[in-house]
Amino acid sequence: MAADTVLSQPVSEEAYGLRRGVLSPLEVLAQSVSTIAPTTTPAMTIPLVFALAGNGTWLVYLLATAGLGLVALLIAAFARRSASPGSLYSYATASLPPALASLAAWALLLAYVATGSSVAGGFINYANVMLHTLVGHAAPATLLVAGAVILAAWMAYRDIKVSAQAMLWMEGISVACIVLVLALILFKHGLHVDREQLSLRGASPGGTRLGLVLAMFSFVGFESATTLGAEAKDPLRSIPRAVMQCAIGAGIFFMVAAYTEVLGFRPAGVPLDQSPAPMHVLSQQAGVSALGIVMDAGAMISMFACTLACITAAARVLLLMSHRGLVHGVLRRTHARNETPHVAVLLTSVAVLLPALVLAARGVSSADIYGWMGSLATYGFITVYGLVCIALPIRLKRLQSLTPGILSIAIAGAIAMFLAFVGNLYPVPPAPYSWLPYVYLGYLLVALLRFRSG
């Protein structure tokens, strides 16, 4: 159609000092997969959604897949036309007024940084689960989170190709282990449907709506392959494919995992939302308890890979922000040998580390760090996704290529993001979740004032 023709124009040759064309399509996909950290969803997010939605957990993930699938279509449409390190910020810049474009940049930066802090907090839990299993002792939370972020920062500083390959192997092994356990659980229960789940027994509309907000955090970052526009081979093909494959593939994986976990925990003797290591319990239910430690290791590795992916993505957003004059010019520097945005990597690594480190030092549990910082990240992603839904129709209208189909998808995506944002606000959640919207709005206000003063 006309939109596809317009969106196939040549990509800019500007590489911003990064290593051009070094990442294969599979390595590009690894960036998005690692940022959503699929292993963390069965391990930590699905139990939280189950606490709200019960037997409707699978439906929540179906709805989340549908809503974010619409956004993925629009992001992929942008990615077919242009590629740069700035990801969604560069898309917003092409269509929106400068003030809104700057807010998109700051919101996306916060989203990646907060996600990195969130999963660094989750890393504490599973690292100590592993230590208890292996040596019978736990390590200080501050030591674990600092070690994870520092190692991720070093990998992001050193070489984007090495980082992408490491993320690919980490997530591939983790997901393969989970798929094996889920398959064994389904085989053990035989070829029949779970009527309690399909009939949504005990599920309420309110719980389903609140669960949907949490479920969206499972997907956030699926678009982060777009931050590799300067470093990917054939970016106009590999990046949009990675975005769509990640959004839809992750949605299918999450739905199957949600259905199977609820089914598998029925005879477990402990509620799904109260288990500190759900995949460990499921491995026992599947009759392969020896895989329990593999499941826990997979969750720990996935959270580390996500921390690495978030630092990688945030640094490239910050790099482009520096080139556009939103932050200090020193952040546009790239390493002469490594060809990575080393200054931006160091700054974003510190930003990822500090919240998790301070909260851990104050005795906040890893689950709360994961939940609090994840909720803050969700606000940033919802904002950017919503702005992309507005930006693409504006862009295509200027090019006289806007079609009714694209417009309908954009409107539906914008409505979905608006409803998700409202779902974060009402009914008012308990503290500190009730404070987070004000923290986020205050952050955006400071960013907007800085833009106007600049």
Per-residue pLDDT reduced to its tens digit, 196-234:
999 999 888 878 877 887 898 899 889 888 888 778 888
How far apart are alpha carbons 295 and 126 in whole angstroms? Answer: 10
Predicted local distance difference test score (pLDDT) of residue 280: 81
| Structure token digits, residue 110 | 């916060």
Q: Is pLDDT above 50 for 10? A: no
| Structure token digits, residue 404 | 């009714």
pLDDT, one tens digit per residue, over 405-438 is: 889 999 998 998 888 888 767 767 778 888 888 8
CA atoms in the 13 A half-sphere facing the CB of 139: 19
pLDDT, one tens digit per residue, over 79-91 is: 887 776 656 777 7
Are the C-beta atoms of residues 160 and 231 closer than 8 Å to each other? yes
Are the C-beta atoms of residues 15 and 323 closer than 8 Å to each other? no
Q: Is pLDDT above 60 for 125? A: yes
293: nearest Cα among 280, 302, 305:
280
pLDDT, one tens digit per residue, over 175-197 is: 888 888 889 888 887 767 889 99
Lowest mean per-residue pLDDT among 1-5, 134-138, 164-168, 326-330:
1-5
Most confident range (mean pLDDT) of 74-83, 262-271, 351-360 is 351-360
Are the C-beta atoms of residues 80 and 4 closer than 8 Å to each other? yes
Predicted local distance difference test score (pLDDT) of residue 20: 80
pLDDT, one tens digit per residue, over 264-297 is: 888 877 888 888 778 888 888 877 777 777 777 8
Helices (H) and strands (E) in the chain, counts: 18, 0
Summarize the confidence of residues 309-338 as an average pLDDT.
Answer: 88
Summarize the confidence of residues 102-111 as an average pLDDT.
Answer: 93
CA atoms in the 13 A half-sphere facing the CB of 257: 28
- Phi, then psi, of 232 in degrees rounded to 5: -85, 145
Summarize the confidence of residues 153-166 as an average pLDDT.
Answer: 77
Phi-psi region of 14 (alpha: psi -120 to 50; beta: other; left: phi over 0): beta
Please, what is the average pLDDT of the chain? 85
Predicted local distance difference test score (pLDDT) of residue 4: 40
Phi-psi region of 339 (alpha: psi -120 to 50; beta: other; left: phi over 0): left
How far apart are alpha carbons 195 and 309 in whole angstroms? Answer: 39
Are the C-beta atoms of residues 177 and 294 closer than 8 Å to each other? yes
Question: By three-state DSSP, how is residue 85 classified?
Answer: coil
Helix axes 46-53, 235-264, angle to 10 degrees: 60
